[in-house]
Amino acid sequence: MPVALTVPVTATLVRMRGTDEGPPRCIALAGKVGQQASCTIYENRPGPCRDFAPFAALGIGDEGCARARRRHGLTPLGE
């Protein structure tokens, strides 16, 4: 993970730059949410990103995924 994409939280923990701003927008996100967006570091994305809605690519979301999609005016996956 390039250091320039992160913000230190503790001596051993970082977060993606932009995720602590309001509204949050990760620096690695490209495009416009709700239209076309993608992670520019997808193969190297952090653990929490890997854990979030792990079956979304198969069209299977979860509650967190549904909340995030609704926040951006999208219907939850599978509806």
The nearest distance, CB 26 to ligand SF4, in angstroms, is 3
Nearer CB in complex with ligand SF4: 14/76: 14
Residue ranges that bind ligand SF4, judged by CB under 6 A: 16, 26, 28-29, 39, 41, 45-46, 49
Rounded alpha-carbon distances, angstroms, from residue 28 to 6, 7, 75: 10, 13, 24
Residue 46 DSSP one-character state: -
Nearer CB in complex with ligand SF4: 39/76: 39
The nearest distance, CB 67 to ligand SF4, in angstroms, is 15
The nearest distance, CB 64 to ligand SF4, in angstroms, is 12
The end-to-end CA distance of the chain, in Å, is: 35
Phi–psi pair at 19, nearest 5 degrees: -80, -10
